[in-house]
Structure 1
Amino acid sequence: MTVLVALGANLLIAVAKAVGGLLAGSPALLSEAAHSVADSLNEIFLLAALRRSRRPADRRHPFGYGKERFFWSLLAAVGIFVMGGCFSFFQGLEALKGGAKESHSGYVAGLVVLAVALLSEGVSLLRALHQVHRQQGTVAQGLRDPALRTVLAEDSTAVLGVILAIVGMALHMVTGNVVWEASASLAIGALLVFVAYRLGRDARDQLIGQAADPELSRRIRALLQAQPEIDSVESLLTMQLGLQSLLVAARVDLVPGLDSEEVEDVAVRIKRSVAHTVPEAHQIFLDITDAPTRAAERRGDDDARDAAGSSAAAREHGGS
């Protein structure tokens, strides 16, 4: 719902900014129009992400399609950079080179458009903040919704961008110096490039397989260590598969004296405990051995290394 509200607001504001910018010849207002167009296209990307990421797992994608959200969020970040940031830089540089009109006709209407845009973007930002607050406790592993995160970033930069455009246009009108407005366009471009970089970096980390939140990993490890049948937790690996989907893989040593049936029962119970404590853990894999076996393997490895060292020493002594 938040994405739909943001999309509708951005489309209306983009048209108003574009018309006002063309009539006034304002580089700052045109930069903001490009910003709103980029935001509108990004909302379409995010709607596609929301729809496609809900598809169930199949043979080709046994872990589901949760990472679709991260992929489309990456495309949204690229859209912010290319359409918003680059066009704003272009408008600012053109204004500095004397390409902007010095006539202020239409600037009053442009400022009115920006004031309405500021109100609309502010409402959208408050709605996104409200949804973030409402969802804060529902994602235990700390994975934030990339769609909601992108909307929040877009609304925040939209508010700051409109403020920069208003200041730049107002100072241009007062001083008659286009440098103020060109500087506002360049500042808007720099803001959009920074936001696009941060969003793209987060999406990249999640696409290549980001681990769960450290606090959640500690909870899972503590849960495993608290099981009476587990002697030690040798390793614990986690990976985010989607917004509320987590893969957990652990190698554990069991206490000695358990037969095969008991080991199987213990494995089933441990998986159920992890799934109950961490509902997001949809994929749980346990590599189970008993402590004596692991100790024997370690002794065997040590003996193999010692034998290899003795053999090498003997060859060296024989060669001398």
Structure 2
Amino acid sequence: MTRKSADRRTRVTVLVALGANVLIALAKAVGGLFAGSPALLSEAAHSVADSLNEVFLLVALRRSRLPADRRHPFGYGKERFFWALLAAVGIFVMGGCFSFFQGFEALRGGAEESFSGYVAGFVVLGVAFLSEGASLLRALHQVRGQGGTEGMRDPALRTVVAEDGTAVLGVTLAGAGMALHMLTGQVVWEASASLAIGALLVYVAYILGRDAREQLIGQAADAEANRTIRALLERQPEIDSVESLLTMQLGLDSTLVAARVDLVPGLDSEEVEDVAVRIKGTVAEAVPEADQIFLDITDADAARAAKASRTAARWNQAEESPAATGERGGA
């Protein structure tokens, strides 16, 4: 599946999640106010946060496909990671913090619910469970269609799966809290459900934010890609040694590769240029996402001579240091 096709499917998945969350947020808010339920109001805040995050993800999908320009020569692939980070912040602030607030307010002031309020609350939660579950199944179906682990590399799709999975679990917690409140008359159960929803949202926000942060500051390509590139370079007959290999993910389908290699002696400048072009093409063919490849090429003999010269210079400097002179003088 091409990246463009995968992005279209992800956009549909995000739009499905957005439509479900907007309707569910309204239903939960109305039901929570009518029932006076802190757990249901916490879930309403959760759905509002999810709705805003889906807008962030739609922006990410559009902007990450912009072509490279003079100010951004490596393209806009990291836009996905930036907007995914904002989505994580939204889950933390709008979902987690408000849920904690509702839980503590319920513990402090209590809450009384009528039978009709409970009925309305359970109806809303039932509709929410079915809607969130359908959205989650849609997202998981796309993940499987994109190869499972490979599909979860997309921060937009990963965020939708995390949000919908958390929403299904949150609805379950809210329902359990309301049921126990109704059976025992103790608001502590519903307050505890709100606090549990808040803790769950904070944890999910932390995981999503941590992943986005790693990719924003420059995460290396996965270990398999690194091993493939290094092994390919070492197999080239013109390469004497691979001194260093650095990689960085620029986007979902874009990786920067920078390698310092020593060539065997005896190659003239034209041969070196031809070898560099061929090696770059070989790497790009083996690892398609490696679209930015830079080789720092040196002659093996010249590299050894330079290394020997640097080593000799360090020895001479050490021998001429005051400490070494003092030791010789004392002897």
TM-score when scaled to structure 1?
0.96
2-structure distance, mates of 1:66, 1:34 = 30
1:239 aligns with 2:248: yes
What are the equivalent positions in structure 2 for 1:96-107 lying under 5 Å apart?
96-107=107-118
Shift of 1:126: 1.0
Partner of 1:316 in structure 2?
326
Q: Which amino acid aligns with 2:200?
A: L
Partner of 2:73 in structure 1?
62
2-structure distance, mates of 1:303, 1:56 = 49
Partner of 2:126 in structure 1?
115
**Which of residues 268, 271, 275 is equivalent to 1:266?**
275
2-structure distance, mates of 1:13, 1:87 = 17
Partner of 2:156 in structure 1?
147
1:71 aligns with 2:82: yes
2-structure distance, mates of 1:166, 1:153 = 20
Moved more, 42-51 or 304-313: 304-313
2-structure distance, mates of 1:161, 1:176 = 21
Q: Which amino acid aligns with 2:253?
A: Q
* Structure 1 pair 163–137 and aligned structure 2 pair: CA distance change class (3 A): closer
Shift of 1:216: 1.1
Shift of 1:155: 0.6
1:255 aligns with 2:248: no
Q: Which amino acid aligns with 1:273?
A: T
Partner of 2:21 in structure 1?
10
Is there any run of 5+ residues in structure 1 with no aligned partner, and where? none
What are the equivalent positions in structure 2 for 1:87-102 lying under 5 Å apart?
87-102=98-113
**Which of residues 38, 51, 55 is equivalent to 1:40?**
51
Report the 3-state secondary structure (helix = DSSP H, G, I; strand = E; otherwise coil) of the residue aligned with 2:291. Answer: strand
1-structure distance, mates of 2:232, 2:260 = 14
Write out the 4+ residue segments of structure 1 that deviate beyond 4 Å after TM superposition.
Answer: 317-320
Q: Are the counterparts in 2 of residues 225 and 233 from structure 1 also a CA contact under 8 Å?
A: yes
2-structure distance, mates of 1:69, 1:118 = 28
Shift of 1:83: 0.4
- Name the % identity: 79
Shift of 1:316: 2.9
Q: Which amino acid aligns with 1:111?
A: F
Q: Are the counterparts in 2 of residues 143 and 243 from structure 1 also a CA contact under 8 Å?
A: no
Is there any run of 5+ residues in structure 2 with no aligned partner, and where? 1-11
Shift of 1:318: 7.6
Report the 3-state secondary structure (helix = DSSP H, G, I; strand = E; otherwise coil) of the residue aligned with 1:106. Answer: helix
Shift of 1:13: 0.6
Report the 3-state secondary structure (helix = DSSP H, G, I; strand = E; otherwise coil) of the residue aligned with 2:313. Answer: helix
Shift of 1:308: 0.9
Partner of 2:9 in structure 1?
none
Shift of 1:279: 1.1
**Which of residues 25, 38, 62 is equivalent to 1:27?**
38
Number of matched pairs: 318
Q: Are the counterparts in 2 of residues 24 and 105 from structure 1 also a CA contact under 8 Å?
A: yes
TM-score when scaled to structure 2?
0.93
1:169 aligns with 2:178: yes
1-structure distance, mates of 2:169, 2:286 = 41
What are the equivalent positions in structure 2 for 1:176-191 lying under 5 Å apart?
176-191=185-200
Q: Are the counterparts in 2 of residues 102 and 176 from structure 1 also a CA contact under 8 Å?
A: no
